[in-house]
Amino acid sequence: MFKVNEEILTDEEDVNKYHEFSRLNNELATAQREIIKKKVELEKLNASKDQFLGMAAHDLRTPLNGIVSLSNLLLEDTIELNEKEQLEFLQMINSSSKHMLNIINDLLDISVIETGNLQLNFEKVEIVSFMSRIINVNKIMASKKALQIVFDYDDTQEVLIDASKIEQVINNLLGNAIKFTYPNKKIFINLSILDQDLIITIEDQGKGIPEAELDKLFKPFSKISTKGTSGEQCTGLGLAIVHKIIESHKGKINVESKPGIGTKFIISLPRDAG
């Protein structure tokens, strides 16, 4: 005997049907809840994609506007420009185009990473000479701001990494250190080997990052209140790419920063991530 809504089911077949019905009803309710949850997630993703596209378009529009205006001035015959002015305009067009290309390359990198298609090509690298080469290239940029790069290490090792991706990471972090530090200061790069991990720190004596803004640092377009110390461009994509590359190597990246004192990024990478 079974009681449903004050009605008494006596037939065993009816009781079984009722149980089956209840089970299906529960499953349906669970499926409905799941669909609502997925819908909310998709709406959130869609909103962040729109925001992402809006910011990308905005960042591309500024240099593109510059290119259009400067090239218009070069093409118009109403304004007489001497050779020096023409050259200056062309240099500005060239630098705006390069900036746009950098943004587009970063956006493409982020899209490859986000869709889970980041392919790593592991190779054996002798880490000290690898780092020295990257640092030497960056020294040219640093010297323009009279910044000294000090590289320190106790030992060298062969490590298994995707060399071009890790080069991108170091270039980004060192590029930031140069961009956000005032002239005549130092940038310290330290390399150490701890058990199975490779620890790389990049420390600057720059503007620093306010504590409240540290959380969003590794998210795309995380442009925060700090700007380059010589008016350098800020897009806010570099650290999002850095974070994903380090994650894909099964490594970790942390940051310590004090406004007015400086910033230190600490990377820890397994020596054999392949």
Ligand X SMILES: Nc1ncnc2c1ncn2[C@@H]1O[C@H](COP(=O)(O)OP(=O)(O)OP(=O)(O)O)[C@@H](O)[C@H]1O
Strand 197-204 versus strand 158-161 pairing type: unpaired
Taking the complex as a whole, the smallest distance from the CB of residue 92 to ligand X amounts, in Å, to 18
Q: Per rule CB under 6 A, is residue 99 in the interface with ligand X?
A: no
- Sites for Mg ion among residues 211-240 (CB under 5 A): 238
Cα first-last separation, the chain? 65
| Type of residue at 141 | M
The separation between CA 56 and the C-alpha centre of its own chain, rounded to angstroms, equals 14
Q: Per rule CB under 5 A, is residue 176 in the interface with Mg ion?
A: yes
Q: Measured from the CB atom, is 50 or 232 closer to ligand X?
A: 232
- Please list, in sequence order, all residues whose beta carbon lies within 8 angstroms of the beta carbon of residue 197, skipping any fewer than 6 positions away: 268, 269, 270, 271
Q: Measured from the CB atom, is 14 or 213 closer to ligand X?
A: 213
- Sites for ligand X among residues 159-178 (CB under 6 A): 172, 176-177
Are the CB atoms for 157 and 271 separated by under 8 Å?
yes
106 binds, options ligand X, Mg ion, none, Cβ within 5 to 8 A by partner type: ligand X
Taking the complex as a whole, the smallest distance from the CB of residue 242 to Mg ion amounts, in Å, to 8
Q: Measured from the CB atom, is 125 or 173 closer to ligand X?
A: 173
Q: Which residue number has the CB closest to Mg ion?
A: 238
Q: Measured from the CB atom, is 142 or 177 closer to ligand X?
A: 177
Sign of CA dihedral 82, 83, 84, 88: positive
Q: Per rule CB under 6 A, is residue 63 in the interface with ligand X?
A: no
63 binds, options Mg ion, ligand X, none, Cβ within 5 to 8 A by partner type: none
- Sites for ligand X among residues 119-158 (CB under 6 A): none
Taking the complex as a whole, the smallest distance from the CB of residue 70 to ligand X amounts, in Å, to 22
3-state SS record for 168-221: HHHHHHHHHHHHCCCCCCEEEEEEEEECCEEEEEEEECCCCCCHHHCCCCCCCC
Tokens of 241: 């790419």
- Sites for ligand X among residues 195-254 (CB under 6 A): 204, 206-209, 217, 222-224, 226, 234-239
Furthest-apart CA pair in the chain: how many Å?
Answer: 103
Say how many residues touch ligand X, by CB under 6 A. 22
Report the interface residues with Mg ion, using CB under 5 A: 176, 238
